[in-house]
Structure 1
Amino acid sequence: MSDATHNLALPLIAANQAQKHVTHNEALVQLDALVQLACLDKDLAAPPAAPAEGDRYLVVAAAPTGAWAALSGQVACFRDGVWIGLAPRPGWLAYVADEADLYTFAGGAWTSLRASFTTLQNLARLGIGTAADAVNRLAVKSEAALFSWDDVTPGSGSVRLTLNKQAAARDAGLAFQTGFSTRALFGTFGADDLALKVSPDGARFTTPLAVSAATGRLALGRVAGPLEVSANAGALPDAPPQTVLRVSGADGTPPRLVLDGFGAGASGHLAFRAAAGNAAAPVALQSGSMIGQVSAFGYGATSYAATPRAQLAFLATDAWSDASQPTRISLRTTPAGTAASAEVLAVEANGAVRLAPLAADPAAGLALGQLYASSTATALKWYTGAGWARISNFAKAAAGTSFDNYVPAGAWTKVQFNVADSNDQGAFAAGTNRFTAPEAGLYRVSAMLTYKRNGASAPTAFEVQFYRNGAAAGRGRAAATGALVDGITALSLASTLKLAAGDGVEVWVRFTGADGYVAAADSFFGAHQLG
């Protein structure tokens, strides 16, 4: 029978042994040293200068000195004033207090349990807070997980999580679940393109975002408005109702939307499409339907305008069919001093350009080259830099007389032109036999008068001149003297007069020596505005 235990080498009490208490006490002391083994240090090569009773150390130095000279690889225990060595066996555990680490003895050496954990290799599975299984060989149940850069063995300071799949046709991705039912996937699925997929039930998936691995181009599925693209770091005012896309620049910088096109016929293109009905069942547009519009809003004293202050609109002008789809283009602006826009220019379905007529000359924002349609003058006018001038539908008239006008001898007499052959702008009045200038400007007036004899009378002179506002205009006169020939002698007079608005021009004649007539058949009076 052995005199010591097999594992801890504790002394045994022999049969009929004297002083059994010595052996028993020795076994207890040895148990006290080895059970719940806690050592103070393992890195000393010589015993400390003032050890306390019961102190224990792991002696791992190859050649310790002093009282530990023969204790290399053992547990040194200070007892009864001397150091004794206890030889460890495989599987022993020792807590080293100065390192707060647990060591195991195997293969003739002490190994840190912490170091063992930091070098785990080829684990079949690992569960943290939960059980791993054959599919989820790494399973973690935690409120959060942190991956940080290596600050113990410093490298680049970066951190990267890599998902490596066997081939492009396989999947590599992150799955986001609710109650273990997938609601979103992010990764490369069945290809090398990056995709985001979402699902309401874990069975049906849509792809709102995809990035081509070949081109780097982003493809978006349906985007719920408003989609906002902003270079402004601050808060933005609320977008108007029904906004689908909003683009904003940084403060002081205008946003810019660029439509690039390259190659023949590849210019940037902004398209509008409209239909009546609804998206599921579109129907033909009706007359007046808006097809598309570009609208401008601005901020007043307290808020943005609710309706546009300038607008370019495209409208249907009739009910549409596959064979007839007429349109018009409308341009609207807001006059100064008002807050309501009005149509100022339109391109009609027949190709005609129409200016919205104004009753009076515009008085605000005048600049050389401006153009408008006057409803009062029924003409186009343009601003010369000094005032508004007519450029179309000039005042003009051609008139005759319905009877031979009797002219007494020696008196200037008005010829009663009372038949208007042409009378644009209504400038000629048959009742007064007068052409009246509708506006200030330069006018060309002309007259042709033919002499007709009154019985045997024989005037010696036949004269004609223009009167302005009842007095001789003083700008030209024509005369024929001598023997006047009935139906043959004629006078022609033309003059250019600068008239003020409302000035009236008439034709006056005089016979000298005898009376006579102005023949109705071959006489006329004409006038037209030069500008």
Structure 2
Amino acid sequence: MEFSPNLSLSYLQAAQAQKHVTVNETFRRLDALVQLTVESRTTAAQPASPADGDAWILPANPSGADWAAMSEGHIAAWQDGAWVEIAPPVGWRAWVKDDEALVVKTAAGWKTVASDDPAFDTLGVNTTADATNRLAVKADAALFSHDDVTPGTGDMQVKLNKAAAGGTASFLFQTGFSGRAEFGLVGDDAFRLKVSPDGSSWTDALVVDKDDGFVGIALGSIGTPENAFHVAGDANSPGGELRLLFDTYNAGNSQAGRADFRKAGSSTKGGHGATANGENLGNFTFLGDDGTGFTNGAFFGAIQEGAAGTYTPAAIRFATSDGTNNWTERLRLQADGALRPTPDNTHTLGTASFRWSEVFAATGTINTSDAREKDVIGPPSAAEKRAARRVLGAIVKYRWLDALAAKGETARIHFGVTAQAVQAAFAAEGLDAGRYGLFCEDPVMEAVEEPAGTPDGIPCATTRPSGRSRLGVRYEELFAFVLAALADPDAGAGGLS
């Protein structure tokens, strides 16, 4: 054996001439390798004027008259005016001056073991880090606590920074290394909470806009919320509809869940100022879509009526759009409890097609009869009085057909006239009943139920003209009309006296 197994130092041979040459060569090698220190491991160009004893770890593709023939990862040492190439085995260690780092030779190349610079290429705790996951921890728990040693400020903050708005800075939660939830800045600068059933398809569950703090729930392709709280549903929602559920579990307590709309007469959040009479206190609005955007449909909400004090006097108003005009208030439950239409003397309560079955009241209705609002034509004519006598003779007793169908012979008996008899009485005297307010004929709309109805089983119906009409009478006017005939004993008709 001519060389030592680890440092490849030359052995002296028996009867060797010029032994000092071999010994000096060994000393040079020991001088280069013991307490190995190199200038750099990134310098590729052969230095022009190295100092005696300087050494370098060669990077890929070294250049220069001598270095070009040397190999990546080898040590190039300048000794006694010449370059010496040393091939380090696995396990050798060296101090790199310009990196201020201790490195070790591995099968894959030189790796940093320790450095005065706190930066590490990778760090693995109980596992191996890699180029993608440069920090890897395998543990049951990880703790980040405030600094109580230095001491610090008492705070603890973890920072995730990305290069541009289109990048990602987030926490990703996985099951079996397949993504299931993620929150952070994902693809833009809005805060997002995303979920996935399989790690491939993702849904935005929560979005908070960076500019105004608006919050969006399940927005999908909408992207960012359009108002302070924006919830979106689609065909994948249960039953194909969007529902907001407020559950309260509080047995034995009269309190239940509630949603509050609060308005202050102040432009400062958290401030207070008196709200005034006529101010809108909050609305539920309903909009449709004309194919290009949302359009107003209907709303109900609260409006202040009077000055706010210990309690705020407020009314509930209901507004609709007829499809031609913007929504208009139709009905108001006043602060004093009165239910009134809006505007005055414009809307009906029910229609010929959709009627109330019964009206219960403590007193009768009050019909306006102010002479200042009437064009008085005069007393009934002789023909009109005779028609009234005919109507009087047309009073019959009857039962409603739907009551007969439901109750049979036990259906109750009523007294009155039929609109057809009233119409005939007028015609017999050459009069048109349709000219008089006591006689009514209105078209009937028929309800057409959608086959599917609503997801919870509530029938969903639309209306369309049926081609039929329904006749009726205003009994309060009819009674006044008949009384005119009774007050005139000479108004005979059809044998009546």
Q: Please, what TM-score do these two structures have when normalized by structure 2?
A: 0.41
Higher helix residue share:
2
Structure ID, larger Rg = 1
Structure 1 length as normaliser, TM-score?
Answer: 0.39
Higher relative contact order (CA 8 A, sep 6+): 1
Greater share of residues in strand: 1
